[in-house]
Amino acid sequence: MRVCQIHATVSEDKSVTLKNVPFQPGEHVEVVVCSEDMKRRGGSDPYPLRGKPIQYLDPFESIAEDDWEATQ
C-alpha cells in the first residue's frame, strides 16, 4: 500500500481539491480527511504509557497463590 499525505485548506464552498497526487489515472484510492487540530491535542495519545519506566517490586513472588484450591 502506498500512502501519500497532503495538507490542504478547505475552500469557501467547503470543498478540498487535490492536485498532482502520486497515483496513476484510473487507480482506485481511499481518501480520509481529518482536521490537523486532532493531531495537536495532547490527550489523544493512544499509548500514554509508552516510554515510561517499569518497576517490578518482587518479580519472583507467586501470583494469586491463595486462589489455587490445591494449596488449601
* Whole-number Å distance between alpha carbons of 37 and 39: 5
pTM of the entire predicted model: 0.45
Length of the chain: 72
Q: How far is CA 11 from CA 15, 16, 18, 25, in A?
A: 6, 6, 12, 24
Cell numbers representing residue 57 in the block: 517490586
User: Tell me: the pLDDT tens digits for 6-56?
Assistant: 889 999 999 999 999 999 999 999 999 888 775 555 556 778 889 999 998
Contact between 12 and 18 under an 8 Å Cβ cutoff? The reply is no
